[in-house]
Each structure stands twice: as structure tokens, then as C-alpha cells.
Structure 1
Amino acid sequence: MLERSRLFAPLFVALTTSAWIALWMWDAGPYARYLRHASWSELPLVGAICREVPGASVTIAALLHSVAWLLMIAAMMLPTAFPLFDTFRRMTIARDNRRTLMALLIVGYAAAWALFGVVAHSLDAALHRVADQSPILLANGWLIGAAIIAFAGLYQFSRLKHRCLDKCRSPLIFITERWRGRNARRESFRLGMSHGAFCIGCCWALMLLMFAVGTGSVGWMLALGAIMSAEKNFRWGKSIGQPLGVALLAWSAWIVVEHARIA
């Protein structure tokens, strides 16, 4: 039992590392642009299917976006939730179905982020359609990026963010408040979903930065993942929230000033 418990952290690190490697290979490969906003119909073979099969373009785009998004979540967000998973593992270690319960916990966590991904990508697609139909927005797309960055900066000071962050920082209390063990499978999945919801509550504005700087930028993913992990898992994490907010607001202001100077 002790040997098995020692395997959990290495296996978790291996899973996260695999996700990062997959993203890096995708970003370094010839199809890196399809991590971002390029047309999926341009892909070899896929493009032919999109042209021949009605509705295939939408279906394939949704599938590939989902794969990319789940890889991003595995790489960026699973490490931030490791204290929850490890605490839950230790609390359920005597159960015969502990592996199933752990799998349901992780699936529930990923499901919450997958739902957020659907909403975020839908809003992003709608924004691109509006911009394509608006000559002003099309010519001044930087305004959207500056607004997203400023909003993410302001959210760093919000009570909602810090309330959600407090929930994420106390995995033992979080589990004991919600775990009864009467219907273990259902409770495990709900626990993962609930923790994922609070994780979204404290990180969603920073995740929106991916849409401003490029959802396929592995460098930005590494930076944001490190920031969110530090905020949630280190004692000094609280001290970086407000300076980060100030930095984001300054970045947004710099973008505005630079474009005003050029104009």
C-alpha cells in the first residue's frame, strides 16, 4: 500500500508532463496555427472532408478545439489542483474502489473546465464574427486585447476571486465539508465539479488572457500556469495577486498609449 501511494505523485507529474509535451509538439509542428484561430478547413485531408460532408467543418472544429482545450487544462490546471487530489487519495486509501473514486474526482474537475471552455470558445467565436462585420473593430482589434487584459487586472482585486481562492487553498476543509461517503461515486464526481467551479472562479479571468495573446502559445501557458499554481498552492501566493493586477492594468494602458502614439 505504501509503495502504491508513493507512485501517485510521479504518475501525476508524468500525466502533466505528457500534456505539456503534446502541446509543445503541436505548437512546434506544421499545424501550430490550428491551436489558434485558423480555419480547420485548411488542414490537409480534413479540409477535403469539410468540403464534402455537410456540417463536418463545425464538428471537426469542435472536436479539435476540445482536444486542444483539454490538453491545456491537463497541463495548466491539474497541477494547481494536486493538493486536492492528494488529500482525497489519502482520505480514501482504505477503500477498495479508491481508483474509481479518484478517476471520478478528476473527471468531474475536468468536466467543469470543459464546460467553461465551451462557453469561452463560443464567446470568442461570436466576438470574431462581430469583429469581421465591423470595419472599426477589424481595424482596431487591439482594443479587444487591451480590454481583456484590463479586465483580468481588475478581477485580481475582486472579492469573488479571493473567496474562490480561499476555497482552493484549503483542500482538507473543502473535502470534509462536501464528502459524506454515502454515495461515494456520485460524491466524488460532484466534489471534482465543485472544486473545478471554484478553481474557475479564481482563475477564469487569467485564462481569458489566452484568447488575447493566443490560445496556442505554450510560453504564455507556462507563465499563466505557474502564476495560478503559485497563487493557489504557496503561502506567499496571496501576495502576488494585487501586483499582478497592477501589472496587467499597466500593460493594458501601455497598449492603448502605444496605439494612440502611432495613430
Structure 2
Amino acid sequence: MIAARVRRMGGGHWLLLYALILGAWGLLYAMALPAALREGAQIYGADFLQSLCIVTPDAAGFGRIILMWALMSAAMMAPTALPAFATYEDLGHTGETRLGALVAGYLGVWLGFSMIAAGAQMALFQAGLLTAFGDSRSGIMSAVLLAVAGAYQFSPAKEACLSKCRRPLVFFMAHWDEGAARNGVRLGLVCLGCCWALMALAFVGGVMNLAFMGLATVIMVLEKLPDLGRWLTRPLGFVLLAASVWVLFTSI
């Protein structure tokens, strides 16, 4: 059964989706500043980057930050939804058109999230709480974000959203008549309910920190698996709360 599922996920429309995910990661890699340039900016200031014609996210404006968050959301969240996408296609046997509408609706929700996150990044940067690279300047803010993410791991809202992500068959059967696009939006909202707090930790780990993005993606993929995920959610909450306390005390 697993082998048959893998074969079905090798069609042209699936390859296009994989290319979208890999392309998003590739663009994020191209947009990320090398560590050497980050260190140089810390020593010589922002003029160092400008002299090399490097455009930092704050200088590029709101539109580029939205694009960056949209790419990050697509790269990180689309892999977590692959089992749900496959389940939807298995239910309908309708091919690439409806799957495309489902994915479009799903990513549309994350585009909305990207606009909010970009606005938050601009506001926090202007308030002096973030660097130009999206790294937190405030130990207190980092501790609060970690505490919120940790506490959310134990919340009924998180559990309700995770239960739908872990059982996509039941979820889609309940809303099948609403069509692919609306099911995609519903799935996107459920996944947003699962993962918004973990995504907000980008302001702690660094918005363009590829290592953080990769680790967070793996955690969110594993958390949505029915058997493994239920053993991960609460321990992760304890780890985040402990990290919050540690960051708070080390920043005082």
C-alpha cells in the first residue's frame, strides 16, 4: 500500500509540487546572507553591506519581506501537508487540476500569514527589537516568544488542529462537497493553527537562518504524523518553556 502511494505521488503534478518546494528553498538560500558578511556587518556596521551592494531586508522594503516570508512558508509548510495532499487525491482520483486548487488554497492562507509576519518584522525592526537580519535584539522578547510557543503546545486549540492534520481522511470527508480550493483554505487554516507559534520563533532563531528553518520543518513534519507526533508535542512544549527560562535568566 505504501509503495502504491509512493508511485501515485510521482506524477507530473506531484513533480511540479516538489519543484515548487525545492525552488523555494533554493531562493531562500540565495537570499540568505553568508555568515562572513553577517560578521563583517557586526564589525563595520550597515555601511559595510551597502558598500558591497548587498540589500538588507529592511532596506528592500515591505514587498521583499513579504516575498521572503511567502517563500519561507511555502518551503517549510508544504512538506508538512504532503500526506494530506495525497489523501485528497486518493479520495477523488481527480488528477492535477483539483490537487492544484487544493495546494493553491492552502498556500493562500500562508500568504496571508506572510503579510502579517512581514508587518510584524518591520514593526519590530523599527522598534529596535530586531536586527536587519531578523535576529532578536531583546532577550526578554525571545523569552516571551519561546514561552508562548511552549505553552501553546499544551493548548486545546493546538490539539484540535493537530488532530485534523493527523487524520486528513476524516477532515476531507467532512467537507468534501465544498470543493478543492475551499478544502485547501480549510487545511491551511488548520495547519496555521498548528504551527503559527513555531513559525514565530523565526524572530528568535533568525528570519533568514536556514539551519533554524530546516530544523523547524523537520519538527513540524514529525509532529503531524499520527503515531510519532503525539509523543513529540508535549515534550517539545517542555523544551521550549525551559529554553524560555534559560534565555530570560541569561539576558538579565
TM range (shorter): 0.7 to 0.9
2:207 to 194, 215, 231: 215
- Residue 178 (1) aligns with residue 175 (2): yes
Query: What is the aligned partner in structure 2 of residue 21 from structure 1?
Result: 26
Kept in 1, the 8 Å contact 2:9–2:86? The answer is no
Q: Residues 207 and 131 of structure 1: is their aligned pair in 2 closer, same or farther, counting only changes over 3 Å?
A: same
Report the secondary structure of 1:239's partner residue.
coil
Q: Residues 30 and 128 of structure 1: is their aligned pair in 2 closer, same or farther, counting only changes over 3 Å?
A: closer
Report the secondary structure of 2:232's partner residue.
helix
- Residue 203 (1) aligns with residue 195 (2): yes
Q: TM-score, normalised by structure 2?
A: 0.79
Q: CA RMSD in A?
A: 3.1
Q: Residues 66 and 226 of structure 1: is their aligned pair in 2 closer, same or farther, counting only changes over 3 Å?
A: same
- Pairwise CA distance, 1:142: 1.5
- Pairwise CA distance, 1:28: 5.4
Query: What is the aligned partner in structure 2 of residue 188 from structure 1?
Result: 180
Query: What is the aligned partner in structure 2 of residue 163 from structure 1?
Result: 160
Per-residue CA deviation, residues 141-186 of structure 1 (Å, 9 max, x unaligned), is 22111111111111111110010000111111111111127xxxxx
Length, aligned pairs only: 229
- Higher Cα Rg, which structure: 1
Q: Residues 6 and 85 of structure 1: is their aligned pair in 2 closer, same or farther, counting only changes over 3 Å?
A: closer
Kept in 2, the 8 Å contact 1:26–1:32? The answer is no
Query: What is the aligned partner in structure 1 of residue 92 from structure 2?
Result: 92
> Tell me, which stretches of 5 or more residues in structure 2 are unaligned?
39-45, 130-136
- Pairwise CA distance, 1:6: 4.7
Query: What is the aligned partner in structure 2 of residue 53 from structure 1?
Result: none
Query: What is the aligned partner in structure 2 of residue 244 from structure 1?
Result: 236
What amino acid maps onto 2:79 in structure 1?
A: P
- Residue 142 (1) aligns with residue 139 (2): yes
- Pairwise CA distance, 1:26: 2.7
Alignment partners' CA distance in 2, 1:45 and 1:226: 30
Per-residue CA deviation, residues 173-224 of structure 1 (Å, 9 max, x unaligned), is 111111127xxxxx21111111100101011000000022211011000111
Query: What is the aligned partner in structure 1 of residue 41 from structure 2?
Result: none
Report the secondary structure of 2:119's partner residue.
helix
Alignment partners' CA distance in 1, 2:120 and 2:32: 23
- Residue 115 (1) aligns with residue 112 (2): yes
Query: What is the aligned partner in structure 1 of residue 65 from structure 2?
Result: 65
Per-residue CA deviation, residues 62-101 of structure 1 (Å, 9 max, x unaligned), is 33223222221222110110111111222232x4xx3221
Alignment partners' CA distance in 2, 1:156 and 1:247: 10
What amino acid maps onto 1:250 in structure 2?
A: A
- Pairwise CA distance, 1:45: 9.7
Kept in 2, the 8 Å contact 1:20–1:75? The answer is yes
Identity rate of aligned residues, in percent?
34
Per-residue CA deviation, residues 222-262 of structure 1 (Å, 9 max, x unaligned), is 111000000002412111111111111111111122223xx
Query: What is the aligned partner in structure 1 of residue 125 from structure 2?
Result: 128
Kept in 2, the 8 Å contact 1:80–1:232? The answer is yes
Report the secondary structure of 1:7's partner residue.
coil
